[in-house]
């Protein structure tokens, strides 16, 4: 099939929408010049804490052509996970909305494989790889470059129509396409996220010290939780949504339409007491396919105990 780059791009975006993605933006696969000094400074300041994997593959993080040989385009996609559902007991330890249902890695990887297969069927032989937050790819930088939103002061990507409660994924392909342009920053003078962060992890606008973030403590940190932070977790036992919950742009968030992201029937009705007495069997049943499995039963128990210490 012989079509122009713009036709190819339109085909891809139409199929992405059919697969349920909120939007799709395309950028040239090239070295991320602006991100290089930022990433280097962030690492040098030890803002990655114990996330030593962030020090690996520095060049690949900044240059997709080193990750996927011959790549020409980065197709960035966002997928809504916002839920109006809340945990019923206001005193129960809290989990991030993104973990309510099936682990997003599986859900999105499946959709990306469909999209890549579609590209091969409709356009011809295209080589590429799918990425869902599991490889040295700077997802947010590519989403911004592809015009899907701007980088908020909390370092989540924001859009005027849908806020920030969505996952970001990419296809990096060896196909020339039409490239989108970044959009304007609409954070203005707002400092809601900075003011609300319980651990003051947003050290300045657009900079998050990962080693102070509640999500880091409750998910990434494998050692004991630091006593200095006792009483500062705002009752979060896995992840944290504070900076997104207070963001004015998230008043435009609408509930997702992905059945796989719906919570386990018993998850939201768990009381504070239920969580404190949770057994391994209940943990396995509740989070059988959830991203919460990452912290393991012992990790979640550690987090719950810390909240009441």
Tally of CA atoms within 13 A in the half-sphere of 201 that contains its CB: 27
What b/e readout covers 211-236, taking b as 16+ CB neighbours within 10 angstroms?
bbbbbbbbbbbeeebeeeeeeebeeb
Q: Give residues with Cβ within 8 angstroms of 305, minimum separation 6.
A: none
Q: What angle do CA 288, 83, 96 make, to 5 degrees?
A: 55
The single residue of 133, 178, 234, 274 carrying the catalytic annotation is: 133
Residue whose pair of structure tokens reads 């114990």 in the numeric block: 50
Backbone angles phi, psi at 295, to 5 degrees: -85, -10
Please report where in the chains the tokens 């945990």 appear, as a residue: 87
- Whether 133 sits among the annotated catalytic residues: the reply is yes
Instruction: Report the distance separating Cα 65 and Cα 174, nearest Å.
Output: 9
Active site residues: 133
């Amino acid at each position: 099939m012989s079509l122009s780059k713009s036709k190819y791009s339109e085909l891809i975006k139409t199929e992405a929408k059919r697969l349920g993605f909120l939007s799709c933006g395309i950028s040239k696969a090239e070295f991320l010049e602006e991100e290089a000094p930022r990433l280097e400074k962030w690492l040098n300041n030890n803002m990655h804490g114990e996330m030593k994997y962030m020090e690996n593959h520095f060049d690949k993080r900044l240059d997709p052509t080193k990750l996927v040989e011959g790549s020409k385009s980065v197709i960035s996609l966002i997928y809504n996970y916002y839920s109006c559902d809340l945990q019923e007991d206001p005193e129960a330890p809290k989990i991030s909305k993104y973990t309510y249902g099936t682990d997003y890695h599986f859900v999105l990887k499946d959709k990306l494989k469909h999209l890549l297969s579609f590209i091969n069927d409709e356009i011809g032989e295209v080589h590429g790889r799918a990425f869902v937050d599991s490889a040295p790819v700077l997802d947010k930088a590519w989403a911004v470059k592809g015009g899907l939103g701007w980088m908020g002061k909390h370092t989540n990507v924001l859009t005027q129509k849908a806020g920030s409660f969505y996952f970001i994924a990419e296809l990096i392909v060896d196909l020339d396409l039409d490239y989108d342009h970044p959009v304007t920053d609409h954070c203005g003078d707002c400092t809601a996220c900075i003011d609300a962060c319980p651990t003051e992890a947003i050290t300045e606008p657009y900079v998050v010290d990962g080693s102070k973030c509640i999500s880091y403590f409750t998910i990434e940190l494998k050692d004991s939780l630091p006593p200095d932070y006792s009483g500062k977790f705002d009752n979060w036992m896995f992840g944290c949504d504070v900076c997104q919950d207070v963001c004015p742009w998230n008043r435009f968030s609408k509930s997702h339409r992905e059945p796989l992201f719906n919570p386990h029937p018993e998850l939201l009705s768990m009381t504070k007491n239920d969580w404190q007495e949770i057994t391994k069997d209940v943990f396995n049943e509740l989070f059988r396919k959830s991203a919460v499995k990452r912290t393991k039963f012992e990790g979640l128990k550690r987090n719950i105990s810390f909240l009441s210490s």
